[in-house]
Amino acid sequence: MATTPKRRLPVMADVAKEAGVSHQTVSRVLNDHPNVRADTRARVEEAISRLGYRRNLVARALVTKRSRMLGVVSFDTTLYGPASTIYGIEQAARTAGYFVSIVSLKSLDATSVRAAIDYLTEQGVDGVVVVAPQRSAGRALESLPSGTPAVAVEGTHRADVSVVCIDQFEGARLATRHLLDLGHETVWHVSGPPDWLETEGRLAGWRTTLEAAGRPVPPPLPGDWSPRTGYEAGRRLAAMDEVTAVFAANDQMALGVLRALSEEGVKVPDRMSVVGFDDIPESEFFSPPLTTVRQDFDAVGRRCIEALLRQIDSGPVAYERLVVPPAFIVRSSTAPAR
């Protein structure tokens, strides 16, 4: 009963009265301003805990014009990549004292991305991270009202939107190089869906490495990240006798390839080597364990937050492009050419 004499939650004024000071002093204590005498501070703190007072961050946001909330717009958060990136973002944001509000989109056309950003902005976020590795999504950022702090993961080239990305080109180069070094004449590629920047980066890394080595560049087999398309590509590859090495643009598709090859009786890695991309937790236990390219999504998330907070704190900064290097993980799905 003593705890709830009135229904209303206690506010600063209540604490002030309880402690016998002004609301301003309570505010000073809360924001630990130096100019408060120790005993006054103690009295206020006691009053706070006695009343169970909690500061109302909405009211504070209204006057400071800082909500301490960040928005994240992402494509299908069920996928391993986005999910991991968002996890990293959330962790980093929270340690920096920020909340994260998420909008996940099933379609990443410029319109929906813009709508999502507007939505978040209206709600008062201090900045936005767009995990939208598609060209079309990048375009949405280009029309962003300048002044809104924003960071993109893998996208856009607009001068005042910073970008954090993993070096896709380098990852693809590592994968292709690895296979060539094993003595394979050339490397086939199962690519991601068009319009994705990752698709393009991996495609370019693969193609360039092949060309630099003077090897034939076979036509890439189209995929959409799903195991199913990898499976379909795998069946086609199994039928071609000359194919000895395949680089799939992600681990799920590599899994599909593995499945198809196994069905067709094509032994991996004896008759064919397979490399993936992402290093999802399952890859290590595929049959056989998958050689792949690891992406450090946590680092991406951290970098995003760092870059975003920099913009929020010190205004628009020069365009930055933060590149996180990939790591190459060799397991048992690759072997020397026969």
Phi and psi for 115 in degrees, rounded to 5?
-60, -45
**Rounded-to-integer distance, Cα 16 and Cα 245, Å:** 73
Q: From the list DNA, a copy of itself, none, which binds 22 (C-beta under 5 to 8 Å, kind-based)?
A: DNA
Q: Is 262 in the site for a copy of itself (CB under 8 A)?
A: yes
**Rounded-to-integer distance, Cα 21 and Cα 282, Å:** 60
Q: Is 259 in the site for a copy of itself (CB under 8 A)?
A: yes
What's the full length of the chain, in residues? 338
Q: Is 210 helix (H, G, I), strand (E, B) or coil?
A: helix
Q: Is 69 in the site for a copy of itself (CB under 8 A)?
A: yes
* Amino acid sitting at position 326: P
Q: From the list DNA, a copy of itself, none, which binds 11 (C-beta under 5 to 8 Å, kind-based)?
A: DNA
Q: How far is the CB of 228 from DNA (least distance, A)?
A: 47
DSSP 8-state class, residue 309: H
Q: Give the number of residues in contact with DNA, rule: CB under 7 A.
A: 31
Q: Is 148 helix (H, G, I), strand (E, B) or coil?
A: coil
Q: Supply 13's token pair.
A: 């004024």
Q: Give the number of residues in contact with a copy of itself, rule: CB under 8 A.
A: 51
Show the site string, 207-236: x = touches a copy of itself by CB under 8 A, - = not.
-------------------xxx-xx-----
37-56 residues near DNA, rule: CB under 7 A = 37, 40-41, 53, 55-56
Q: From the list DNA, a copy of itself, none, which binds 218 (C-beta under 5 to 8 Å, kind-based)?
A: none
DSSP 8-state class, residue 324: E
- Please select the residue that binds a copy of itself; options are 21, 26, 44, 86, rule is CB under 8 A: 86
- Please select the residue that binds a copy of itself; options are 1, 2, 38, 58, rule is CB under 8 A: 58
Q: Is 145 helix (H, G, I), strand (E, B) or coil?
A: coil
Q: Is 252 in the site for a copy of itself (CB under 8 A)?
A: yes
Look-up of token digits 């069946």: 235
162: nearest Cα among 324, 320, 322, 323: 320
Residues at the contact surface with DNA, assessed by CB under 7 A: 8-9, 11-13, 16, 20-25, 27-28, 30-31, 34-37, 40-41, 53, 55-56, 59-60, 62-65
